[in-house]
Structure 1
Amino acid sequence: MITALRGMKDIIDDGYLYKHIIQTCEDVASKFGYKFIETPKLEETALFIRGVGESSDIVGKEMYRFTDKSGNDVCLRPEGTAGVVRAFIEHKFDRAGGVRKYFYHGSMFRYERPQKGRFREFHQFGIECFGEGSVYEDASVILIGNEILNRLGIKTTLKINSLGDSQSMPKYREKLVDFLKKENELCEDCKRRIKTNPIRVLDCKNEKCQEILKDAPLIIDNLSKESKDDFDKLQDILTKNGISFEVDPKLVRGLDYYSKTAFEFISDEIGSQSAVLGGGRYDKLVEYLNGRPTFGVGFALGVERLMEILSQHESEQKRDGIYLCALNSEYIDKIYNLSIDLRKKFYVEISYEAKSPAKHLKIADNKNIKIFLCIGEEEMKNSEIWYKNLLNKDEKRIKLNELMEVLGE
């Protein structure tokens, strides 16, 4: 038997959760002026080496990279931002000026050890805004993420930080490297990061490294006046809009092109605290990929992680929809015609088989249906239908010509 590759997962029974998440994300992003973009899943490897960074684990360890039949060095996209930036530059939008806002969703690929909530093929939703340097857009991006999570009913903690700007970062990096070079007990990954991207050390999960880093200098204490003013303004905007947050001075995005705002929404609904949505400002990325200098800010969220959280909410969700059935096979035409009218307004599941009421009710209950509708001999004689609300257990016979009115209550 041929099975799915390790770390690749079919979305079948929980497909409605996937659809619900994407539709929610699209609706919120659209209301903030973001438009849909789709980029190829296969790109030149150089895009991610330059866009994500050679020092990152994604490029160093996790890419699905290979040479195609024409000898091109290609890989399956490990994240979405770089491809959107490539498209932005390729279509010369960096030269056109103005503000452009995009949202995307789809498969991403990373070759890492599969584990709970982490697969080799996974799905992300993300937004990217180009050409807007105002901290108000940083706040709007955070508000979009907050609104999505609120609509989905997912409880999170928002953590924010500032990574400074071109004036702040070089001075801070020098201080951090001086501090780290004195520490001999850092893990091997951190020792390597000192040479490639020292900011990533702050994100290390090794307990010994975390103990050492308690005394490390912090970027938030080394901000330029512009960066500090923007960070203060961001906090002011969030506070005035009722968004609670924590300032985490060790929160980093880890790549050289990030600057100023960095943020993550953290959830503990699936065990240990983990980020379900994260982003920030990346004003250097378009330039890194040979485009004209362009402001950029955005975020990405992991769809599977949100699906896992929502699946735990299932028992708390209200029943929904209608189950329509008949006790005699000769009434199937009747309920089928009725279903056509009902589906103009409601979600309807219909059974094409005649079964006992108990068997029909069991099926409806397993489908988490709210309204059970059934026609038998008595109902057929009197132009009625048997109605039962599986949520509050109310049941009665009602006239067919009154059905829409009853269902609309």
Structure 2
Amino acid sequence: MITALRGMKDIIDDGNLYKYIVQTCESVASNYGYKFIETPKLEATNLFRRSVGESSDIVGKEMYQFSDKGGNDVCLRPEGTAGVVRAFIEAKFDRAGGVRRYFYHGSMFRYERPQKGRLREFHQFGIECFGEKSVYEDASVILIGAEILSRLGIKTKLKINSLGDSECMPKYKAKLVEFLQTTDGLCEDCKRRISTNPIRVLDCKNEHCQLLLKNAPLITNNLNEACEHDFSTLQEILKQNGLEFEVDAKLVRGLDYYSKTAFEFISDEIGSQSAVLGGGRYDKLVEYLGGRPTFGVGFALGIERLMEIISQRKSEEKRDGIYLCVLDEKYLDSAYLLSAKIRKNHLVEINYEAKNLAKHLKTADSQNRKIFLCIGEDEFKNGEIWYKNLENKDEKKVKIENLEGVLSE
């Protein structure tokens, strides 16, 4: 038997949930003026080396990279932003000026050890805004994320930070490196990052390292006047819009291209706290990839992670839809005609198999249906259908001509 590759997972029973999450994300983003963009899953490897950064774990360890039949160095996209930026530049929008906003969703690929919440092929939804320098756009991006999570009923905590700009970040990095070089006992990953990307040390998950970093210099204490002003303004906007947050001076994004605003929405609904949505500002990325200097800000969320959170509450969800069945197959034609009529206004699952009432009820319950409809001999003779509300257990026989009124109550 041929099976799916390790770390690759089919979306079968949860297909409607996946679609619901994407549609919710699209609806919120569209209300803020974002439009759909689709970019290829296969890109030149150099795109991610230049954007994500040689020092990142993604480029160093996790990319699905290979040479194609033409000898080109290519890889499956490990994240979405770089491809959108490449498309933006290739369309010469960096030269046209103005503000452009896009949303995307689809497969990303990282070769890492599969585990709960981590797959080698996973799916993300993301948004990217180009050409807007105002910190109000940073706030809007955060509010979009908050609205999506709120609509999906996912409880989170928002953490924000400022990573400074090209003026204050180098000065801060120098202070941090000096501190780290005189700190004994850091893990091997942290030691490696001192020379490649020192601010990633702050994000180390090793508890011992976090103890050693307790007195490390913080970027929030080393911002220049412009970055300090933007960060203060962002906090005021979020407060005015009723969004609670925590300033986490050790919050850094995993990719090299971020500057100024960085944020994450954290959830503990699937065990230990983990980020379900994260993003920030990346004003230098378009320039890094060969375009004209262009402001940029966005976020990405993991669809599988949201599916996991929502799925664990499935048993608590309200029932939905109608289960329609027969006790004898000779009534199936009548049931089928009825299903076509009531499907104009309702979700209907018709079971074509004739079996006893208990088995039908068990199937309807397993499908989390709200209404159970069944035609047997007596019902057929009298032009009726047996009705049961599986939520409140109300049951009765209903004339076919009155059924729509009962279903719409």
Scaled by the length of structure 2, the TM-score of the pair is 0.98
What residue in structure 2 maps to residue 154 of structure 1?
Answer: 154
| 2:90 equivalent in structure 1 | 90
CA distance in structure 2 between the partners assigned to 1:110 and 1:257 by the alignment: 18
SS in structure 1 at match of 2:298: strand
Distance apart, 1:254 and its partner CA: 4.2
8 Å contact kept, 2:160–2:247: yes
Give distance in 2, aligned partners of 1:316 and 1:225. Answer: 50
For the 8 Å contact 2:36–2:104, the answer to whether it is kept is yes
Is 1:101 the counterpart of 2:101? The answer is yes
1:351-366 equivalence runs, <5 A: 351-366=351-366
Give structure 1 regions of 4+ aligned residues with deviation exceeding 4 angstroms. none
Q: In 2, Cα distance between the equivalents of 1:112 and 1:337?
A: 52
Aligned to 1:79: 79
Task: Report matched runs for 1:197-346 at 5 Å.
Answer: 197-346=197-346
SS at match of 1:214: coil
Task: Give unpaired runs (5+ residues) of structure 1.
Answer: none
For 1:324-403, list aligned pairs within 5 A: 324-403=324-403
Cα distance in 1 for partners of 2:127, 2:154 equals 19
Q: Which amino acid aligns with 1:306?
A: L
Q: Comparing 186-195 with 291-300, which one deviates more in the overlay?
A: 186-195
Quote the Cα distance in structure 2 between the aligned partners of 1:310 and 1:198: 36
CA contact (8 A) 1:197 1:254 kept: no
Instruction: Show the counterpart of 1:170.
Output: 170
Deviations, residues 177-212 of structure 1 (Å, cap 9, x unaligned): 111111132222212211111111111112222111
TM-score of the aligned structures, taking structure 1 as reference length: 0.98
What is the DSSP-based 3-state SS (H/G/I as helix, E as strand, rest coil) of the residue aligned with 1:309?
helix
C-alpha separation in 1, matches of 2:30 and 2:334: 41
Partner SS, residue 346 of structure 1: coil
TM-aligned CA deviation for residue 381 of structure 1 = 2.3
The aligned residue for residue 196 of structure 1 is: 196
Consecutive unaligned residues of structure 2, counting only runs of 5 or more, are none
Q: How far apart in 2 are the matches of 1:384 and 1:238?
A: 57
Deviations 1:202-257 (CA, angstroms, capped at 9, x unpaired): 11112222111110110001111111111111111111111111110000114443
Q: 8 Å contact 2:325–2:351 — kept in the other structure?
A: yes
Query: What amino acid sits opposite 2:251 in the alignment?
Result: L
Q: Which string of whole-angstrom CA distances, capped at 9 and with x for unpartnered residues, describes residues 297-329 of structure 1? A: 100011111111111111110111000111222
1:185 equivalent in structure 2: 185
Q: Distance in 1 between matches of 2:271 and 2:46?
A: 36
Identity of aligned residues (%): 78
User: Is 2:125 aligned against 1:125?
Assistant: yes
Asked if the contact 1:199–1:254 (Cα under 8 Å) also holds between the matched residues in 2, the reply is no
Contact conserved, 1:105 with 1:123, CA < 8 A, in 2? yes
Distance 1:407 1:242 in 2: 39
